[in-house]
Homo-oligomer: A and B are copies of this chain.
């Protein structure tokens, strides 16, 4: 095998085109070996194997700088830059992340990247700095067609074009985003493919870029020719290559959406190694929304390129018809669209992972909340039990969302409370509402939940006790209840409160606690800094009430063990109990 002898791109340089093809096949086999055993992005990486071999053959990394958008197509690059063992050897796979990472490889990976549409903008910084400092290297941004719809990609193109010096944007066009592509731009990509790049109407040229098209983006010799032509070019260049998503692995070619990403599977037939039969609350919510659409013709479900995150597979999307809209990777548009729809009397619901709501902070503030338009936003994955990659941490949502004036952030504690809040939020016409979908194991509750949440910031007293009051937020409500029960074993009849609202406090209820409580404890599945608990601490600051806030310390986290995370943050039930007792002087 060649791949085992390739420790850096320099080891490709002496090879013939025929040998490079063998390397590409070995890289493809390595990618398949990893994703089938470990899970990961399948289709985009398989389709970009030949292009990566050709890029590293023609260009000279690390002097030449690569930036891989969102990293979905960076596995072949990892294999060619000293990390092949993380693909070939099952025991080494955990050491390698699924994303571009200078922490993992400072020489060949230039940025930690996990969000889309950032590559050209980041590369424009490498371009400008090179020009200022006086370097001569090539700057190469690799971006998939699905990432082009994000505003940051457009802003990056606009500036890189004006800078006017060497930058090469490789557009990997496999005719797909995660699901199908959406947006007017894609008509132009289609026109360019169909005209073999010859159409006069050319988005990239209209942005001031020079342009080249390679129809067979899985043919190494053509790719090497193309990249040789643009190497060391003195102006901004787009190389638009047409690749096949999933190339070389039949199941992935035949069902491209299914194979964008996969849990571990059997290579022979593509069947999953383990079936995840657990209920998923976000999928349940998606199904409920699909059902609700039939009763409410004004209800429109919005996604920004990630419909599967709430269970909207192709079938659900077809069923929803006009009541579903995928704006592509374009979260700013998703929020502004929702605000506009709400203004005109429709009932828009936009759902996305918390980490991606970061991409639309200003639209939440300005396009939505300043206007108070009654759109509904489901914040998914906001838990320490969710995605744990460096760039995909979702539990910093409360500091981000809960302090925006006029945006109301609700935290249901069970599936039934989630649905009660959804119903109210969708049907009211006064407030901009975000809902923190309670992730983790699905909790069902027979409780009769309120149907009207317009009495804002009114907490719910779940159990009225004394001495200690526990305010347990959202999906940590059950944890709060467990601690209450443990305290009962010690003879303390603690109060338990479901705050329900994350964007304000119930001053009446908090005032009432002063009478017969000494300690108020807050527990949240999220950040301590700027979190829910700090507002409670502020409220009691001038009083004799003691307050204990439990949550996660502000830091960067990556592929953590969740039990260790709980321990490190003093968040196990035992630790919380012991902290409470210590303040009570009970040991």
Contact = CB atoms under 8 A, between A and B. Distances in A.
Interface stretch (A41-49, A249-257, A355-363, A416-424): A355-363
A62 interface: no
A74 interface: no
Which of A156, A322, A527 has the most chain B CB atoms closer than 10 A to its own CB?
Answer: A156
A339 B118 CA distance: 11
A203 interface: yes
Contact of A399 (B162, B403, B533, B537): B403
Contact of A152 (B129, B332, B345, B541): B332
Contact of A537 (B404, B537, B554): B537
A535 interface: yes
Contacts of A330: 155, 158-159
Contact of A332 (B131, B155, B182): B155
A338 interface: yes
Given A121-B367, A343-B126, A556-B406, A154 B154 contact: yes
B405 A345 contact: no
Contacts of A402: 529-530
A238 to B, nearest CB: 11
Contact of A362 (B102, B159, B358): B358
A295 interface: no
A208 interface: yes
Contact of A541 (B162, B323, B530, B540): B540
Nearest to A519: B542
A151 B542 contact: no
A337 B159 CA distance: 9
A122 interface: yes
Interface string A193-218: 00000001111011111000000000
Given A155-B330, A343-B110, A161 B183 contact: yes
Nearest to A192: B206
A125 B208 contact: no
Contacts of A555: 405-406
Given A114-B366, A157-B184, A298 B132 contact: yes
A360 B327 CA distance: 20
A514 interface: no
Contacts of A127: 340
A276 interface: no
Contacts of A159: 182-184, 325, 327-328, 330, 333, 337
Nearest to A160: B184
A405 B526 CA distance: 13
Contact of A583 (B162, B187, B542): B542
Contact of A128 (B154, B325, B367): B325
A549 interface: yes
Interface in A535-572: 535, 537-538, 540-544, 546-549, 554-556
The oligomer's copy count stands at 2
A130 B537 contact: no
A185 B201 contact: no
Nearest to A553: B405
Interface string A321-357: 0110101101011001111111111101000000000
A75 interface: no
Contacts of A399: 399, 403, 530
Interface string A346-386: 10100000000011111101110011000000000000000
Given A322-B132, A534-B535, A546 B549 contact: no
Interface in A441-460: none
A342 to B, nearest CB: 7
Interface string A395-425: 0100110111110000000000000000000
A280 interface: no
Contacts of A322: 131-132
A308 to B, nearest CB: 20
Q: By CB atoms of chain B within 10 A, which of A110, A128, A151, A527 has the most?
A: A151
Contacts of A185: 158, 161, 206-208
A62 to B, nearest CB: 12
A201 B404 CA distance: 42
Contacts of A73: none
A132 B209 CA distance: 38
A365 B371 contact: no
A133 B132 CA distance: 54
B150 A155 contact: yes
A124 interface: yes
Instruction: Give the top 4 A-B pairs by smallest Cβ distance, nearest first.
Output: A125-B340, A151-B151, A161-B184, A184-B208
Given A150-B155, A542-B579, 15 more contacts: A122-B336, A122-B337, A125-B338, A125-B343, A127-B340, A129-B343, A129-B345, A129-B346, A154-B155, A155-B330, A159-B184, A366-B391, A405-B554, A529-B535, A530-B530
Interface of A: 65, 102, 110-115, 118, 121-133, 135, 149-163, 182-185, 187-188, 200-203, 205-209, 236, 297-298, 300, 322-323, 325, 327-328, 330, 332-333, 336-346, 348, 358-363, 365-367, 370-371, 390-391, 396, 399-400, 402-406, 504, 527-530, 533-535, 537-538, 540-544, 546-549, 554-556, 579, 583
17 contacts: A122-B336, A124-B340, A125-B337, A129-B344, A129-B345, A132-B341, A133-B346, A151-B153, A152-B363, A159-B184, A159-B337, A203-B203, A361-B361, A366-B391, A399-B403, A403-B530, A541-B546
